[in-house]
Amino acid sequence: MKSNLVKKYGVWLLCGVIAIVFATIIGITIYRSNLREIKLDGIVIGYTKDEQLATELLEEVKASVNEENGNTIQWDVNLSMEKGKGKRASSKAELKKAMEETLESLKEEQAQLSYALKIDDYEVILKSKKEVKEVLQKTQEKYSKTSDVQIALVTDEKKGTLVPEVNMVTKSDKNQHVVAAARTVTDQTEQSQTNKKSKKSQNEVVKVAFAEEIEVEPVYVKSEELTQVKEAVLDITKEKDQDETYQVKKGDTISGIANENGMTVKEFMKLNTQIKDTDSIMPGDEVVISVPTPELSVIVQKEELTKKKYYADTVYVKDSSMYEGESKVVQKGKAGVKQVTSLVSYKNGQAYRSKVTDTEVIKKAVPKKVVQGTKVRPTYIKPINGGTLTSRVGARWGRMHEGVDWACPIGTTVMASREGTVIQAGWINGYGNCVTISHGDGVITRYGHMNSVSVSVGQSVSQGETIGYSGNTGRSTGPHLHFELRINGVVKDPLDYL
């Protein structure tokens, strides 16, 4: 009886154990079937029954990691969850830690906040604003040859984009760091330094600007799409052939235009198919030329100092003792020196405009001084009416003939060529009957071979007054009047004065 009871209870106990085991197995199976295996870009990071929790936690962790990295990451990761895997659910803390570690390992593969530098249709992408400014800085330095330039990126209120702002660094900006102790120098030293500072440099950059329109926009790109600073500068400053229109000027030739722009005539003709003949261009025609141009052109304005010679205006002094038309230099001119300040504009190193802004005389010029005569020149008349010119001043018969001869009948009236005083009247060997008149300014006139003389020494005569009559006296080969004119004893050709 007792044995049967034990057997009966044993069976019940076994059945209970079996039932518990079975229930446990079913419970575990059901539990595991509700678990989700979480993968982030294919990497298993944990298990959960709450998909929403995992999704929300990922967004939280992405924001946290992004913030730690300066909010520069644009996440593109795939969160997947697969049912029926895993033995237990990961805690929130475990999931968060796994997500953080995984995102840190994946961040270099994500698109990062970068900046697109746009120059008209050209674009280059750089890692940061700092690199953008560095590229622009190095580009301008290629042509300005100065580091005294600060480039900032400011927001264009109309467009809402970043644009470069170029500012010159002044000397006061550079000297702001000077400590008070430096002020202990002597007054003499301070004055010396002030004088040195006041002197202008020979070529001082006063303005730098970019010719093209520039915009800087934030973009998210992967590292392989970025350009390094050095490479960007080389690409931006590299000159590329660009077609431009040129208007033909007077004197231009096709070969000349081509040579000046680094082209061959063949290349020029290829760009200008409308021209059929190399000699068929005219001033005003428009032709196409190929001009090497960088992506970004730099405009530099320089204040340049040059020393130039200059000459003072000639000073003219009137002198009543000299005849009109006569002049003499009484003081030679000497060149002075001016320091000329010009504002010169350059584009990519080539000057294209210059404006003088200041002129300072360093050495004063000495003017040339010229004395000019104001005395009215005397007039002379032919001493006879009619007559035939037979001889002029010059060599004749082996000797110098010092006057002019007019053949005329004996008794022709002889007149004073100009007013004056008779200083000789009567016979002179060779001249025969002769009259000599002094005109009071170093000029004398002489009338020879006369038949008779009608004036006397010391007598004043007026122009055109009769002084005698022509003849054939003295050394003469026929009736004529011999007429001489001397200035300060020098024989002159009377015909030049009549």
Averaged pLDDT for residues 77-103: 87
What is the number of domains present in the chain?
5
Do 264 and 325 share a structural domain?
no
Q: Which residue has the higher pLDDT, 95 or 397?
A: 95
Asked if the structure places residue 193 within a domain, the reply is no
Contact status, residue 380 vs residue 494, Cβ threshold 8 Å = yes
Report DSSP letters for 282-345, one per residue: -TT-EEEEEEEE-SS-EEEEEEEEEEEEE-PPPEEEEEEEEETT-EEEEE--B-EEEEEEEEEE
How many C-beta atoms lie closer than 10 Å to residue 313's C-beta? 9
pLDDT at 265: 86
Of 188, 216, 234, which one is at a domain's C-terminal end?
A: 234
Task: Answer whether residue 187 is part of any domain.
Answer: no
Whether residue 123 is found in the same domain as residue 223: yes
Beta strand spans in 332-487 (E) = 336-347, 350-363, 369-375, 388-391, 394-396, 399-401, 404-407, 413-415, 420-428, 432-438, 443-453, 460-461, 466-470, 480-487
The average pLDDT across 63-86 equals 87
Domain stops at, among 375, 404, 426:
375
Compute the average pLDDT of residues 208-236.
94
Say whether both 433 and 458 belong to one domain: yes
Give the Cα separation of 453 and 74 in Å (integer). 129
Give yes or no: residues 9 and 95 share one domain: yes
pTM score, whole prediction: 0.58
CB atoms within 10 A of CB 132: 25
Q: Which of 293, 320, 338 is the C-terminal boundary of a domain?
A: 293
- Asked whether residue 96 is assigned to any structural domain, the reply reads yes
What is the mean pLDDT of the segment spanning 481-498? 94
164-173, 206-215, 301-310, 406-415: which has the minimum mean pLDDT?
Answer: 164-173
Whether the pLDDT of residue 159 is over 70: the answer is yes
* Mean pLDDT, the chain, whole residue set: 86
pLDDT for the residue numbered 358: 94
pLDDT of residue 22: 46
Is the Cα torsion angle 172, 174, 176, 182 positive or negative in sign?
Answer: negative
Where residue 216 falls among pLDDT bands split at 50, 70, 90?
very high
∠ CA 438-441-447, nearest 5°, is 30
Task: Evaluate whether residue 280 is within a structural domain.
Answer: yes
pLDDT at 21: 44
d(CA 266, CA 271): 9
Q: Please write the tens of the pLDDT for every residue from 362-421.
A: 999 999 999 999 988 889 999 999 999 999 998 888 888 999 999 999 999 999 999 999
Q: Model confidence at 441, in pLDDT bands (50, 70, 90)?
A: confident
* pLDDT at 256 exceeding the cut of 80: yes
For the ranges 24-33, 88-97, 429-438, the one whose mean pLDDT is highest: 429-438
**CATH for 303:** 2.20.230.10
Q: What is the pLDDT of residue 281?
A: 87
User: Does the pLDDT value for residue 184 go beyond 80?
Assistant: no
- Res. 345: pLDDT tops 50: yes
Domain encompassing residue 101: 2-109
- Does residue 287 sit in the same domain as residue 312? no
